[in-house]
Chain A
């Protein structure tokens, strides 16, 4: 993975109609009757870096679980033009890299290597390519040499990076991250921001860290009570104090 530092970050929105992710009027209710998503429509273009913000319980995580078909609501979801169906699911899971909020869920193998190699192994890649991908993924998150370490003995910041490496090794087109900066100390948070800035993939990242949004994401989507209530340039939305306050957000 080429790690190239950009000095100026383009804070403009790409001009397209959603070539990589299309969500159209998605509705979802949990089995206990709680309605989590109401008429959610969202398009993502290649190279888009989108922050998904909103209070706890707004439906952000639920929406993210629809993008790789772990949850299946009513409505249309298509990744790279492929509608989500049982048949397309394996390919879609290779296209979409979901990193869960708690890295302890993501890291279920004894060693870091086993975890990062899980995706490529499941995809049936040859052994030398698996080794190459694991090395690349660990290098991308600057965790070279951690392959033989035990996952549950790492620090929170290290676990978060390894969790991202576990999906980078699958070479996905979209990265979907659930609150990546939660629970990190300032230094680890800074390192994560640099990492996210340098990754070339399309990103949809849920977060409460609006200063990170300001710094990193050209586009911002606000969710509240299962609705998308705003979708536009982060610079504009972040200056709308009334909007932020209505939906319980603070810079």
Chain B
């Protein structure tokens, strides 16, 4: 039994799926950077970025609304931007008295809030698209090619590999607990809150102990097979002409979006 909660790769035959992972990583970072650099209230540029995103969605053949449907995971983070509405710069729009505090939304603040919302919403969708079209090992590989420190990529690769083992382990512990969480008619069930907290605490402790011991065993198994400090991989990725074309075209489109944002 496995949890697939973190595995978001969607197999499909498409131009984007076959693109070199380095290009995809660079373009995603470029897209996020471009959104961050756009001035507040440049709605036309945001719309252009959105069109670019839709085009990318279409190219993956996962459907136009693919990333939109999955973008709501980022919604809770938008709450962090709510305070921007009450920015003291700009003209006040209303006055909300909540008893202990008076909130004054301003026109500048509202524009800023929606701009932040647009930026994060667009950026999250592009990241979702990257993960959906690139296998995780390829993604790690791309970061290695782009000179991300080896230690960092190795940690991420191991994290990804053993996250599933760990969630499975946690899941089995929880299942064993619920199998013994019985009750008798007419008796209070579940013990005291303190006792339940203690049980949960020791389960977390067990999970840590086991992960720790497992990491030792894994390391020994790696040493036994000649591990010397960094993971070597074969290098199956070479930039094709189509990869360069896609990279150049997309960078030009991003520049175009910037021009719309700043000069319109």
Of B4, B180, B189, the residue contacting A124 (CB under 8 A) is B189
A102→B179 contact, CB < 8 A: no
> What B residues does A105 contact at CB under 8 A?
169, 172-173, 175-176
> What B residues does A167 contact at CB under 8 A?
180
B96-111: contact bitstring with A at CB < 8 Å (1 yes, 0 no)? 0000000000000000
Of A30, A100, A121, A124, the residue contacting B184 (CB under 8 A) is A124
A102→B184 contact, CB < 8 A: no
A98-113: contact bitstring with B at CB < 8 Å (1 yes, 0 no)? 1010101110111000
Known: A70-B179, A108-B173, A122-B183. 8 other contacts (CB 8 A): A90-B181, A91-B185, A93-B182, A98-B180, A100-B176, A118-B180, A124-B187, A125-B187
> What B residues does A118 contact at CB under 8 A?
177, 180, 199
10 residue pairs, one from A and one from B, having the closest CB atoms: A90-B183, A94-B182, A93-B182, A124-B187, A105-B172, A124-B188, A119-B180, A105-B176, A98-B179, A108-B203
A93→B180 contact, CB < 8 A: yes
A104→B175 contact, CB < 8 A: no
B182→A104 contact, CB < 8 A: no
Specify the chain A residue showing the minimal Cβ separation from B177.
Answer: A108
- In the complex, whether B158 has a CB less than 8 A from a CB of chain A is no
Q: Name the distance in Å between A13's Cβ and chain B's nearest Cβ.
A: 28
Q: Name the distance in Å between A158's Cβ and chain B's nearest Cβ.
A: 17
Residues of A within 8 A of B (CB): 30, 32, 65, 68, 70, 90-94, 98, 100, 102, 104-106, 108-110, 114, 118-119, 121-125, 152, 166-167, 170
Of B1, B182, B199, B202, the residue contacting A123 (CB under 8 A) is B182
A122→B180 contact, CB < 8 A: yes
A104-B210, A124-B189 given as contacts; is B182 within 8 A of A114 (CB)? no
A91 vs B206: C-alpha distance in the bound complex, in angstroms? 28
> What B residues does A109 contact at CB under 8 A?
199, 202
Which of A30, A92, A93 gathers most chain B CB within 10 Å? A93
Which of B175, B182, B184 gathers most chain A CB within 10 Å? B182
A110 vs B187: C-alpha distance in the bound complex, in angstroms? 26
A114 vs B196: C-alpha distance in the bound complex, in angstroms? 12
B178→A70 contact, CB < 8 A: yes
Q: Name the distance in Å between A38's Cβ and chain B's nearest Cβ.
A: 18
> What A residues does B179 contact at CB under 8 A?
68, 70, 93, 98, 100
A70-B175, A105-B173, A109-B202 given as contacts; is B181 within 8 A of A93 (CB)? yes
B178→A123 contact, CB < 8 A: no
A108-B206, A121-B195, A122-B189 given as contacts; is B183 within 8 A of A94 (CB)? yes
> What A residues does B184 contact at CB under 8 A?
90-91, 94, 123-125
A100-B176, A105-B173, A152-B206 given as contacts; is B182 within 8 A of A90 (CB)? yes
5 contacts between A and B (CB under 8 A): A93-B181, A102-B172, A105-B173, A114-B202, A119-B180
A98 vs B175: C-alpha distance in the bound complex, in angstroms? 10
